[in-house]
Chains A and B, each alone.
Chain A
Amino acid sequence: MGKSDNNRSEGLLDLFDMAMDESDEKEGLSPLFSTLEASEKRYLDPELINSGGMKTISRVFDAVTGRYIAMAKLHEGAPKETYDPFICEARLTGLLEHPNIISIHDMGIDEDQTPFFTMELKQGDDLRKIISQKHSGNLEYLEKYPLNSVLEIFLKVCDAIAYAHSKGVVHLDIKPGNIQVGEFGEVQVCDWGLGKIIGKQDSSSNVEMFNPDWLNSMTLTGEIKGTPGYMAPEQVKDGKEKNETTDIYALGCLLYTILTNSSPIDGGTDEILEVTTTGRMIPPAQRFPKLNVPHSLSAVVMKAVSLDQNERYDSVIALRKEVYNYLAGFATSAENASFLRGLTLLYKRNKLICNVTFILSLVIIIGSAQFIINLNKKTAEAIAAGQEADEARKKAESLLIENQNEQKRVAALGIQKDLIQKTIIQQIDYSKPIKSVADKVADFENRPPGDAQMNILSEYYYIQQRYREVYELNKDREKPYYLFKHAPKFIDVPRTKSGLLNIDDFFKSILHFNLRQRDMLEKAMVWDTANRKNFQGYEKVVKLVLSGWNNGLKDSTFDYSPSTKSLSLSGADFKILGTEDMADNRNSLLAPLDLVSLDIRNTQIHDLSQLRGLNNLKELDVRHTLVPDLEPLNQLPAIEKVIVLPKQFSARQIKVLKPSIQVLVQD
């Protein structure tokens, strides 16, 4: 207890004295030495992290700032002559304030009366480790430090050295081991122990501190003045000035190492020094052909390590620019780039723009080609269409000629012009076919005889099933009407009570109408229907007439059920169920069947007005048709139900239907 109290009061008294001493120091009386001595208590827990030729670097805790920093000390027992060069290194480094140069925090004399200095402690690797890891194929390092990223580190080293040169300081020991690379790309050039002031610099700042005489004398000591392999010839052989170009040589060697992950020169120290002094370094691209060392950078290295100091780059900035040019994709001056090389580099540095341009060009070319091809195709189509049109025109012309010939013929027969008009020849009232046809016959019987008159009369006789008259009229003619040869077949066949041919015979007789005469077909059927009483089996007549108007019904079905009087049509050929816009009181071609139910699904039928005359039709299915309008159904007296698709008709279209018509919507 007593002892402890004593200790305590002793401690208090010491502190009292210390407090008073410090107040005295403020007055400038106390020597610097005493504050330097106090540093013993400032830096704690040293932990060796590196040891070099002259000094050791430890990690220490700085109790004042509360952080870990690096402390450099001379080796234990180092001779006193090394003290000043050591302090000189610290001062030299301290003078260089640059983000890529290690910064000095503090220096002083330790409790063992040896000098020390402290500097920032960087987490990370030095470049030597990075390169050796890359050399041994460590994937992590290969991935983290590709060539371009190490080249960027190199640029930062160049920045630091260029700055130092501007301040009149040369490093003289640039090598991978002296370059610290932080976790986040911080690069710092360390170990300025061989650094040297060169005399010719301007005296822009710190004149006293940079006094060459004072600092240079300090660097005369140590025996090793560089690292073999990175040392310039002038460092090996005395007699030549060591200046900025010496650092440029070392930077060239550093670049060599970065490019190849190997030292610039292999072998023992003597061998290395021999190669150095004779300048027989093998270019990186030549020594490591498999590494794909960029030729431009290989050339840069070889220029930087020229034996003659004057042949190296003029400045670090010039060297830096070369590497920068490579990274930016320009040609380096050292490689004497060809036009093609320049073009390649132009592509490399503008890859994105070039690629986009290329793709766009490609798109334009393909687009143009496509356009031209399409144009050709269209032209061909147009020509083909033209030809088709031409053919159609020729056909039309031939028809016209035929017609004209007919007209000529008619004219030659002395028939009045109006008689040859189709309407007059052909037109009948379909609501009164018997009378109408009879009128035509009477009309033409009373006309002066002639080819046209006889032909027309023949047609109408044929429609009236008066085959004997057809025969009699034509038997003496030079050019008898074409139906004349078929007429005799039907003269003596049995007839119905109404005097008509049986349905089968009637079917056969109208088979002989050629397709150009399909209006004759319709007339024949309409006249026959008007006279006939029993329509059993009549569907084949109807089908024949329909096929005359609907492309022959090649791919269609006509399915009639006599018991239910229902008909189902399907097929794309079905377009027309009633002719000539239902003019002249025409009824539907289906009218003879007296249908109750009609299914026209999957046909191209579009006009429901062509159903006129289906007076007993109750049900109609128009799904999958082209029918645009249901309104004509209102004219069908018996219609009850129409089947449509959902959304086939709008509500308004359905609304036009009579209320009695049920619209059934089905899929």
Chain B
Amino acid sequence: MELTMGSGLFRRKRNRHGKIKETNIEAKINLTHAAIDATYEIKGIDTEDQVMKDFLFTLGCFEGEKITLISALADNYIIHIKDARYSIDSQLASVIRIGNTE
């Protein structure tokens, strides 16, 4: 019950969000859709978890910065930001919204 309520909320939000940005199809692309070795511009971090958002910020992972996908392993993505490599899980990868490749 709790779970379905949560996902319902989530869906509604996504729908609304989708409506606003209907014209811009790229807005929905997140890091899990990225191609290996391609460098993208970060368009936004879509999470309610402000602490994580702030933390990513200090690593240089925020809107306007560059991100490169090095490898995709099972549930983990190895990414490159500002000369460092990090392993993140698919949950975190899915909140990193990305734009055009270079």
- Co-complex (A, B): no
Question: Which A residues are within 8 Å of any B CB, using their own CB?
Answer: none
